[in-house]
Amino acid sequence: MREFISRHRLLVGIELLAAIICILFCLRPKELIYFADADAMADQLYIDESGNYYRSDQFTLRPGVYHLRIYCEDHEGMLYPTIGALESSYQALRCNGAPVFAHRREMQIEAYVVEKVENAYIICNYIGETGQPVEKIELYKTSGGWRILTFILVLVFAGVNLLVDLRDKLLKGAISIDKVVVAGVLALSVLLAYLPYCLDYMGLGADGSFHLLRIEGLKETLLSGEQFPVRVQENWLYGHGYAVSSFYGDLPLLFPVLLRLIGFSLMDAYKLFMLAVLAGTAIIAYISFYRCTGSRYGALLGSVLYELAPYHIYNIYNRYAVGEYLGMMFLPMVLCGFYRIYTQNVKSGDYKGTKIPLILGLSGILQSHILTCEMTVAVLVLAAIVMWRKTLRKETLTELVKAAGIFLAVNAWFWVPLLKMLSADKYKLSDIVTKNIQSMGTRAAGILQMYPYAGRGQTGLYNCEPIQIGPALWTVLMCYLAVRLCRRGTSAGNIYDKVMRWGALLGGMFLIMSTIYFPWDIIARIPGIGLLVTAIQFSTRFLAMATLFLSFAASFFVPWLTEESVHWEIQTAKMVRVGSAVLISGIALWATLFHVNEISYELDYPIRLYSAENMGNISVVNGEYLLKGMDVQQMQYHDPIADEGLLWEDYHKKGLTVSLHAENRTAGELYMELPLTGYKGYGIESTEGTAVPYITEERGAHGDLRIAVPPGYAGNIRVAYKGFFLYRVAEIISGVTVLLCLGIGLAKRYGKVGKETRG
């Protein structure tokens, strides 16, 4: 880096100057653009056939990020504020608006202006009432636009510096052409898979609303500063809170949350997150396969086929299965670690670093998707049992035990609270995991399907969706079988051939397991195992494993073919190698282009999401983490609901913390329901009396938290989510383990460097 700076001082100087200027603008305070109170708004209240609406005077908006804040009195109807413009170019002003639901008293809407807008105005429609519930409206220009610009410039500067440095190294011969080819092909595969997000809209798929709300909920809860790590996200269910973070790992979502904090819209933050995930999947798959094969082009082939596999793209765009495609990102790492532990030469005694990919991969999967983690662990356990002779070797068993112990300790902060929550209460999850999965698989037509449509009008597939391995992986298998049947070499017993055979066998097994023909009903009746099996919900999830093993086998195809062609005539060998590469690459390119174009232009409900509040807050999909008996459809924003004779005042609610003054002027115990979902883990504090209020086991309407106030009580009450003491213990264990692992790793690294220096 020092050498690069010395050679390109002018370039670096310009970049630093631009970055400093942008950072200074980022520090500017927000600027009030428009303000109107109730009196001012009363003069601009209009009535037409659709009802009452308020429309402001016109004003000018310059490029930047704006926040529109609405403050309301208690109201029964619904409001719909937004920012519009009389004349502006296409999408110069980007604002969806959002509904202000009944009884909500404050809300913020985001607007993005990319070109100067002369005739902007604020409009607020009143739905369901004729009164005037709005107290005031404020429109601020924030520094979000400058933060976005700074972030983009940093990325651009990093890319330019990388290309300049790459050019210098190429001219000096410090980097091989092979590495450049690998980097270029991986980048093209990422961009090809990302093509549908290059449009100015996006689809929501099956679970898109749910996962977008997870990102927004994590951001809002972290900003409140009341929970870390987050266990119950505060903005869900009309501000009651949803314990999605206790059951679904949020760690990978910190990146889009950071983008939201910078100022990006929820849609753009998610798109950039997906670009990072696609790049991460390609890079992790390539490095993992390369460490196993030792072949750059073999690993490149496996990585590209894994990245562009129809089931992978289907999870991204059709289902918006964030957990599953994140799990698929880490699966190659797990396979790499497990493979290296079992194939390491015991006599050499060199197991250095073999367990690290296994630990990191399993941790990534656990933090991404519990069901993928369940399947992965089950596969690893079965593999260890089948290969019991190697498993029971002292060296192998030691590495496996170390990996398991470190994995459990590092992730204790997540899985310990998860088990605690599961044991502390009853959830709708218990009804969902007992459902039949036999009919949730694909059919024979699905296995052999070659056209990866976006999910329209096909027959023979579950929900008419592209749940398949795709033509490229089938082509690899066909090429392998064709060459092997016609071969004249002697490489049948080498490691490449063995891995390809086992990869094809395991891939085929998981293909069958993803269908309706596998006896899931019989397995589901086995005590203990049956519950784990039905928890998977869809047997089609095993397509992830099939894709992994077939791509892993494909990564060995290039070195296997190279080894095999040694025994052929030179011309024949070249024709077979080049022909196979062209055929597989062409089919992969054709299939992926077909798939992503279908997705881009055949979306059922394309949206342009700029205002995060426009998402609502009840997209719980199946509602697995709702308390049993909760009725989401009847929930709404509300103040505390108290029994007659129980008085309250000075009510404040911030996130999942409620404070108020309460008086029970009767001779009996009275109850109050708070607008909080009644999960276990809330704590209550009181400032007065010996007989203090407490949280009851029984919940209020729609699962609301219910507190009991003793007779004669008068004092201040504070209720907040605190979790359990066990959470703190688990967090300490994880923190200490991470620090120890980092310390030991650094000590070994610098100790080795010191010895080499002294030597």
Token digits for 639?
Answer: 């103040």
pLDDT of 457 strictly over 50: no
Q: In the structure, what pLDDT confidence band is assigned to residue 568 with cuts at 50, 70 and 90?
A: low
Picking from 601, 681, 580, 714, the residue whose alpha carbon sits closest to that of residue 227 is 681
Query: Residue type for 195, please?
Result: L
Half-sphere exposure of 306 (CA within 13 A, CB side): 39
Rg (CA), the chain: 29
Distance CA 57, CA 120 (A): 8
- Residue 17: count of CB within 10 angstroms of its CB: 10
* pLDDT number for residue 27: 85
Angle at which helix 266-293 crosses helix 322-343, to 10 degrees, equals 20
- Residue 6: count of CB within 10 angstroms of its CB: 9
Q: In the structure, what pLDDT confidence band is assigned to residue 266 with cuts at 50, 70 and 90?
A: very high
CA 460 and chain centroid, separation: 30
pLDDT of 759 strictly over 80: no
| For range 149-164, the mean pLDDT | 87
Token digits for 145?
Answer: 């636009």
Span of 649-658, 717-726, 740-749 with lowest mean pLDDT: 740-749
Distance CA 309, CA 316 (A): 11
* pLDDT number for residue 550: 92
* pLDDT number for residue 565: 67
pLDDT tens digits for 515-531?
Answer: 888 888 888 778 777 77
pTM listed for this prediction: 0.91
Span of 179-188, 360-369, 533-542, 616-625 with lowest mean pLDDT: 533-542
Q: In the structure, what pLDDT confidence band is assigned to residue 458 with cuts at 50, 70 and 90?
A: very low
Task: Give the burial class of 754: count Cβ atoms within 10 A of its Cβ; 0-12 exposed, 13-18 middle, 19 or more buried.
Answer: exposed
pLDDT tens digits for 6-65?
Answer: 667 777 777 778 878 888 888 888 899 998 888 777 777 676 666 677 888 888 899 999
* pLDDT number for residue 454: 58
* pLDDT number for residue 51: 65
| For range 676-687, the mean pLDDT | 90
Span of 138-147, 157-166, 563-572, 672-681 with lowest mean pLDDT: 563-572
| For range 721-738, the mean pLDDT | 93
pLDDT tens digits for 280-333?
Answer: 999 999 999 999 988 888 899 999 999 999 889 988 988 888 999 999 999 999
Q: In whole numbers, what is the pLDDT of the chain averaged over residues?
A: 84
Instruction: Beginning with the edge strand found earlier in the chain, give each strand of the sheet holding 93-94 in spatial order.
Output: 31-37, 134-141, 64-72, 106-113, 93-94
Q: In the structure, what pLDDT confidence band is assigned to residue 434 with cuts at 50, 70 and 90?
A: low
| 343 vs 280: which has the higher pLDDT | 280
* pLDDT number for residue 345: 58
| For range 569-588, the mean pLDDT | 74
Distance CA 554, CA 205 (A): 30
Span of 415-429, 480-494, 499-513 with lowest mean pLDDT: 480-494
Token digits for 281?
Answer: 């999947």
Distance CA 333, CA 702 (A): 43
Distance CA 679, CA 305 (A): 44
Distance CA 468, CA 103 (A): 48
Question: Percentage of the chain with pLDDT > 70?
Answer: 89
* pLDDT number for residue 394: 83
Give the SS3 label for residue 10.
helix
